[in-house]
Amino acid sequence: MASVEFTAVAGRDDLLELLGRVPLFEDLSKKELNAVLRSAEEVSHPKGKEVVKEGGGGAGFHLILDGEATVLQSGRVRHRMGPGEFFGEIALLDGGPRSATVRADTPVRTLSITAWNFKPLLVEHPAIAQKLLVELCRRLRAAEEAAHF
Ligand code: CMP
């Protein structure tokens, strides 16, 4: 899923506008976006922080608002992420351990949503579930390709 160009976010209205531009949430009405925002938390992570750790617990979903992060598996770089991209969907969906470490390469700000707030969104908005699946397929293909090297 392509990175989205965001400028610095000031208030809630900006956050709402920004969320509406994220491909995953673009089909939601303003009311629905507001509901997502109410169930989410803005979190600031310092540079170098491992936001999620490979093999660890936790099932929150994280959308990058600003900053850059790297996805690592067994210490190897798998993917780099920026604003508008998300991580944490795998453990959220299957309840298993985190499949990778996601490390903040710069200060990173995320909009983080607990599993119990995010899962109902997938049921209520099949478009979100479909986009999530497409991105999962893309990540699976990329992982398979990397495994051949
Ligand atoms: P989860 O397993 O919950 O926590 C680690 C996250 O890293 C994972 O969800 C995905 O969001 C992300 N991730 C894992 N592997 C890849 C990959 N190959 N490409 C991009 N993102 C990945």
Query: What pLDDT score was predicted for residue 148?
Result: 80
pLDDT at 89 over 60: yes
* CB of 79 sitting under 6 A from ligand 1: yes
Taking the model in full, what pTM does it have?
A: 0.91
User: pLDDT tens digit string along 13-53?
Assistant: 888 988 999 999 998 999 999 999 999 999 999 999 999 99
Q: How many residues can be counted in the chain?
A: 149
User: What is the Å distance from ligand 1's center to 100 Cα?
Assistant: 5
Q: Which two tokens stand for residue 25?
A: 């949430």
* CB of 118 sitting under 6 A from ligand 1: no
* CB of 15 sitting under 6 A from ligand 1: no
Strands (E) located in 61-146: 61-66, 69-73, 76-81, 86-87, 101-104, 108-113
DSSP 28: S
Query: Ligand 1 atom closest to Cα of 100?
Result: 5
Domains and CATH numbers, the chain: 2-147 (2.60.120.10)
User: What is the Å distance from ligand 1's center to 140 Cα?
Assistant: 10
pLDDT at 66 over 60: yes
